[in-house]
Chain A
Amino acid sequence: MSLQSEVDIRDVSVRFGNVQVLEKLNLKIAPSEFIVLLGPSGCGKSTLLNAIAGLLDVSDGQMWIGGRNVTWEEPKDRGIAMVFQSYALYPRMSVKKNMSFGLEVAGTPRAEIEARVAEAAQMLKLTPLLERKPAALSGGQRQRVAIGRALVRKVGVYLFDEPLSNLDAQLRAELRVEIKRLHARLGATMIYVTHDQIEALTLADRIAVMQGGVIQQLAAPKDIYRRPVNRFVASFVGSPAMNFIAGRVEAGLFFHAGDYRIPLAGYAFAGAPAAGAATLGIRPEHVLAGHEAGPDAIAAKVEMVEPMGADTLIWSRLPDGASLSIRHAADAAVREGDTLPVSFPADALSVFDDTPAGARL
């Protein structure tokens, strides 16, 4: 099992009647890469996946998989396999039959089918369940069968359409690890659609954050998290969400909001720093609070404290009224009504301009 294909999406547009879902989208995926398409519902990520699978005709552009132009080929001829959110198992067939049926219809030799099913079953720990019907399986087992049905096709690209969304939190975490292990073992190209940022951050080699049918940022999880290219990416990725403070960038490299100033010395501007209206973003865990805050600290008023076990989330308000969430050590002796000194390290900040898109400065 060492097929790997590259996927090259060239200027692909998808329209439903007058509604333009994807417009001139380009995405090049390297062989054996794990790409996650991340975005809120309606952002076009599932549409893109269905277009790659060939379940949806593109209105424009070309789709290349494994060096072949497959724009107008049937899904079965594209060298892809797909796993669906609702499992989409054939309910009246046994687990074994679910995996083997497609191969049987395609005329694969019986011995070959047996071997592939046995291998996939062993990989997914399905061997004791082979004779069961899907109705007699738990959600996690059903999704493993669906993954098995994709594996036996032995293709270069595996597509996942929100495969874990129907599972409870614990199973989701388990299966997430299993998918990651599977990717390491197969080395196949995988394209994975989700709206769950944890799945995206844990699984992906690169994440494509989508909104409005456009890829906003395509980068490694760490870069997406640390250096979001615009306000949408910054606010969509990360939980609890990034704090935003409205203000102005001043020529002396200060960020001025209300009657306090935040030094920006050490911030890596994308271009030449220009003065003007801007938004400052900082993640809750990057805020320095209490005695860590240093001499130039700003006094934040604590409004609520949420102990979360491993750490504590503090909801506070800055002097100008902007709200600020702070992730703090679990043993912090902070109470509602306290005044907490906070400061913002420049290298952990993100500064966005005040255009509607909010591009990173």
Chain B
Amino acid sequence: MASPRMSSRASAYSALLPAFIVLAVVYIGSTVWTMWMSLTGSRMLPNNNFVGLRNYEILFSNDRWITSVHNLAFFGVLFVAISLALGFLLAVAIDQKVRSEDSWRSVYLYPYSMSFVVTGLVWQWLLNPTLGIQKLVRDMGFETFTFDWIAHAETVLYCLVIAGVWHAAGLVMAIMLAGLRGVDEDIWKAARVDGLPTWRVYASVVTPMLGASFATAGVLLSTSVVRLYDLSVAMTRGGPGIASEVPAKFVMDHLFERANISLATAAATSMLITVIAVVAPYMYWRTRVAARGRA
């Protein structure tokens, strides 16, 4: 070696090399391979027989897939909206200088420390008509009380939303509370001198200041929507019928149970394209805003 020491540039690259390899092989490589598989006729084992877009035609005429996508959209909108609203209200409640604030914060944040599988199981028991809330209330003497949403195709998605919101609202609360605490004390004083009622200050002054907090919480919630799998599996196994199927579950089932790799990868690729279609304009907008902020 000409020089006993590598240049700092070379040593930096060699230190980063393992991470680059992991990124290239695991993320980009697997993604490209998945896309390629969706264009082949692979069944139980992967093969390279190119079949064009046939798998996508099959996919989008598949009732179960269409239902899964609809379910995800329905769940996603309700889950994100309710979690944001509830988390914000919880943060506002805690912001009223309540006593033992730390304990309340922990209590609300606690569900987030549990996995979706545990959350799903717990709520499956609670919502099960013969075990959970319905039985409890009936045992207290209200014989006609009915709460069996989880057993009906039209209402089962609301059950997923309830469990999801219970899981995520605490996290939203923590993010929002941090935002609320960042509001200058003097703004509250100025608002009092101006004679603004408290709710009006939250609605017209503070909430518009929390744009970044809402965006952060919204992005975090959205990623858990796309990933949604374990909650559905643990609570309902996609049922009743296919009423609570979701795309990720469709992919897993076709990969490992139905031995249809090409259809599963077509579904996975469709999910990826959808996410990119949503995120790309947002990223573009963010860079525009950042550029304008620097100017």
Contact = CB atoms under 8 A, between A and B. Distances in A.
Interface residues of A, number: 28
A76 B194 contact: yes
Contact of A86 (B186, B193, B195, B205): B186
B189 interface: yes
B184 A88 contact: yes
B187 A90 contact: yes
B194 A55 contact: no
B190 A88 contact: yes
A92 interface: yes
Given A88-B189, A92-B205, A92-B209, A105 B195 contact: yes
B194 A105 contact: yes
A147 interface: no
Interface in B180-219: 184, 186-187, 189-197, 200, 204-205, 208-209
A103 to B, nearest CB: 9
B195 A88 contact: no
Contacts of B189: 50, 53, 55, 82, 84, 88
A101 B192 contact: no
A158 B143 CA distance: 66
A105 B205 contact: no
Contacts of A77: 195
Given A84-B186, A86-B184, A92 B193 contact: no
Contacts of B195: 74-77, 102, 105-106
Nearest to B201: A90
Nearest to B293: A135
B87 to A, nearest CB: 21
B208 A82 contact: no
A77 B204 CA distance: 21
Contacts of A113: none
Contacts of B191: 90
Nearest to B187: A88
A50 B184 CA distance: 16
Given A85-B186, A86-B186, A105-B200, A76 B193 contact: yes
Given A75-B195, A88-B186, 14 more contacts: A81-B193, A82-B190, A82-B193, A84-B189, A84-B190, A86-B184, A89-B187, A90-B187, A90-B191, A93-B204, A93-B205, A101-B196, A102-B195, A102-B196
Interface of A: 50, 53-55, 74-77, 80-82, 84-93, 101-102, 105-106, 146, 149, 153
| Closest 8 A/B residue pairs (Cβ) | A76-B195, A102-B194, A92-B208, A88-B186, A88-B190, A84-B186, A75-B193, A90-B205
Interface of B: 184, 186-187, 189-197, 200, 204-205, 208-209
